[in-house]
A = this chain, B = another copy of it.
Amino acid sequence: MNQDKTPLRLDDFLPYRLSVASNAVSNKIAEAYRKKHRLKVTEWRVLAILAERGRLTPNRVGELTRMDKISVSRAAAVLEARGIVSTHANPADGRSHLLSLTETGNTLYQQIVPVVLECEEAALAQLTVDERKQLNDLLRRVEQSAQSSTHSERG
């Protein structure tokens, strides 16, 4: 209908292409750790960042994972109830506390890592090493330009 009178083709529209690619990857990987370990994406992210960084406040977890404080709070509560995360007093600020992985949490993380890396490798299988680096770089630059006021995420 408007085939010629518009410069917008959904199939080449960046937000659409990004969304389709992101969801294709996210769905596959989320399915993997959901089925094997009953983890949601938000829970996986909190687990991953605590494994990398050690003790963090919920606030810092949110900054590093781009999750809002509500999502961090709920994910942490689930992980704590499952014995994956433990909480500790924060000597620097009584309003806050510190989160860290338990032994169980570390073990779980070590089990999941190879699974998600395998999924990532499958998604990147057709790209050369240089192309992977470039994709990473391009995505970061797009993100910087787009940077909306809100935080949200997946994957």
The contact string, 1 if C-beta is below 8 Å from chain B, for chain A 12-54, is 1111111111111111110100000000000001001111111
Binding site for B on A (CB under 8 A): 1-3, 6-29, 31, 45, 48-54, 64-66, 100-101, 106, 109-110, 113, 116-117, 119-120, 122-127, 131-132, 134-136, 138-148, 150, 152-155
B29 A22 Cβ-Cβ under 8 A: no
A14 B123 Cβ-Cβ under 8 A: yes
In the assembled complex, the CB of A77 is this many whole angstroms from the nearest CB of chain B, namely 21
A122 B145 Cβ-Cβ under 8 A: yes
Per the bound structure, the CA–CA distance linking A48 and B15 in Å amounts to 13
Q: How many copies does the complex hold?
A: 2
In the assembled complex, the CB of A108 is this many whole angstroms from the nearest CB of chain B, namely 12
Q: A17-B140, A49-B10 are in contact. Are A23 and B154 (CB under 8 A)?
A: yes
Binding site of A, secondary structure by majority: helix, strand, loop or mixed? helix
In the assembled complex, the CB of A110 is this many whole angstroms from the nearest CB of chain B, namely 8
B101 A1 Cβ-Cβ under 8 A: yes
Across the interface, A24 reaches (CB within 8 A) one of B53, B135, B138, B148, namely B148
Across the interface, A14 reaches (CB within 8 A) one of B17, B52, B136, namely B136
Q: A3-B52, A127-B142, A134-B134 are in contact. Are A21 and B24 (CB under 8 A)?
A: no
A16 B155 Cβ-Cβ under 8 A: yes
Q: A22-B19, A119-B15 are in contact. Are A138 and B146 (CB under 8 A)?
A: no
